[in-house]
Structure 1
Amino acid sequence: MAEPFLIGEAMTGGYGPVDILHSCTIAVEKGEIAVIVGPNGAGKSTAMKAVFGMLNLRQGAVRLGGEDITKLSPQARVRKGMGFVPQTSNIFTSMTVEENLEMGAFIRSDDTIAQTMEQVYDLFPILREKRHQPAGQLSGGQRQQVAVGRALMTQPRVLMLDEPTAGVSPIVMDELFDRIIEIARTGISILMVEQNARQALEIADKGYVLVQGSNRFTDTGKALLADPEVRKSFLGG
């Protein structure tokens, strides 16, 4: 069988001497949405950071498009086509919306940057309307749109989102999820950590339930939603 487009395979590691991940495997296919869910402290964000190169693995490997990128820095992974949106501190609050998006294109030297920005504005029309406004004046949901838009400006092959709907209203959450589906339809792989597990699994092609840094359940989003044990333990029945 062909290997997934992006895979963090049998990852063991953490911060300093303490391992948080224990032989954890996370993968996503091209143009698909993979969601990591689980209880607080399960290692969800740590798994995401490990795939992006923000902590050293003691064991395991990360491969993108068949290439071993385990030893690459996060900056080098961005150049390979990985975009990462952290949960907090993910925009430049004093810069305008447009300046934030321009910052996302810093690694590019081609002449289609304006075209990519138009695509971001088409995806998030409110950003076009507020493009000259300081990003710090926007609502929480709009800030998340800026952060995702800036990551898209790098023209990633994989977009990684750490808790994209944290602190936003249910309506805004639904809108963000709709946009995430649209992004995946363009062929970009989405790897996402999400607290709103039920809603996230509804849009997921693949779901990973982590417990104490290990894979407890791995299946399609639909299958996990239908699994009685997953529902009882992680989805509130």
Structure 2
Amino acid sequence: MSFLIGQNMTGGYGKGPDILHDCTIEVDKGEIAVIVGPNGAGKSTAMKAVFGMLNVHSGTVFLDGEDITHLTPQARVQKGMGFVPQTHNIFTSMSVEENLEMGAFIRKDDISETMEQVYELFPILKEKRNQHAGELSGGQRQQVAVGRALMTKPKLLMLDEPTAGVSPIVMDELFDRIIEVSRTGLPILMVEQNAKQALEIADKGYVLVQGANAYSGSGKELLADPEVRKSFLGG
């Protein structure tokens, strides 16, 4: 059994129509799993379903063998889920270091070692630790958001469009950092618009269309699939 399994998830927001249809997403320790697909395909919705932010009418979510389908997002954080939303993911009026400290709000132990690990991973954050996070560039803000999630010492890291709005150079740098994090054994589930680049670093890839699994396989398999290339990767 994979560390995280969102199995046969069907659901939507409130009393609205179902957006996900029998969708399954998995990621294991040390893996990067990437969800890609066209706009409106339900990519972020699938991630939110795993995190408990919408009504899953059928299907189950397992984390480390435990059924967490009916837990609140807050309870899932306590169980070890770290979630970085696409927008509004930092406190702009706080310093970089205060943002990181906020990430550790559920911890009762000494956070200094984790803080040093985050600074090691993102050296620019150490340099700017006393600066207001709102003054940072888009790429640096994303590093703060990821760093803050890592401060919880999560067992699973979920990233919703981590490279949205950043330059190609910054995107490559963020992907390099994400690979480094996964090498520590932490499973990473990521929704990404830059499908080709994301699949290049993915152990598992899921192509969603209209809220359902259209294709799945390793990143390499999906990149090599002529149908996937033609329909989703611009040939």
**Shorter-chain TM-score category?**
over 0.9
**Of residues 207, 216, 219 in structure 2, which corresponds to 1:218?**
216
SS of the residue 1:49 aligns to: helix
1:12 alignment partner in structure 2: 10
For residues 157-236 of structure 1, the aligned pairs below 5 Å read 157-236=155-234
Q: Once the two structures are superposed, what CA deviation does each residue of 1:126-179 show, in whole Å capped at 9, x if it has no partner?
A: 000000000000000000000000000000010000000000000000000000
In 2, distance between residues paired with 1:197 and 1:13? 24
The one of 151, 154, 160 equivalent to 1:153 is: 151
Cα distance per residue 1:39-94 (max 9 Å; x no partner): 00000000000000001100000000000000110011011110000000000000
Over the aligned positions, Cα root-mean-square deviation in angstroms equals 0.4
> Structure 1 residue 191: deviation in Å?
0.1
CA–CA distance in structure 1, aligned partners of residues 187 and 16 of structure 2? 32
Using the TM superposition, give the Cα deviation of residue 17 of structure 1 relative to its aligned residue in structure 2, in angstroms.
3.0
Please show how residues 67-82 of structure 1 align to structure 2 within 5 Å.
67-82=66-81
**Structure 1 residue ranges, 4+ long, deviating more than 6 angstroms after superposition:** none
Describe the SS at the equivalent of 2:11. Answer: strand
* Separation (CA, whole Å) in 2 of partners of 1:127 and 1:179: 13
Alignment identity in percent?
Answer: 81
**What one-letter code is carried by the residue in structure 1 that aligns with 2:48?**
K
- Aligned AA for 2:147? G
Aligned letter for 2:42? G
Segments of structure 1 that go 5 or more residues without pairing to the other structure are none
Q: Specify the code of the residue in structure 2 equivalent to 1:12.
A: T
* Cα distance between partner residues in 1 of 2:165 and 2:54: 26
For these two proteins, the number of residue pairs brought into alignment is: 234
What is the distance in 2 between the residues matched to 1:75 and 1:116? 21
Q: What is the SS of the residue equivalent to 2:171?
A: helix
Q: Which consecutive unaligned segments of at least 5 residues does structure 2 have?
A: none
Query: Matches of 2:16 and 2:162 in 1, distance apart?
Result: 29
Distance in 2 of aligned mates of 1:207 and 1:5: 16
Q: How does 1:29-44 map to 2 (within 5 A)?
A: 29-44=28-43
Give the distance between the partners of 1:106 and 1:17, measured in 2 at CA: 34
The alignment status of 1:139 with 2:137, answered yes or no, reads yes
CA distance in 2, matches of 1:17, 1:73: 19
Counterpart in 1 of 2:124? 126
SS of alignment partner, residue 110 of structure 1: coil
Query: 2 CA distance for matches of 1:64 and 1:8?
Result: 9
Alignment match, 1:66:
65
Deviation at 1:11, TM superposition (A): 0.1
The alignment partner of 1:100 has SS state of: helix
Q: Secondary structure at the match of 1:19?
A: coil
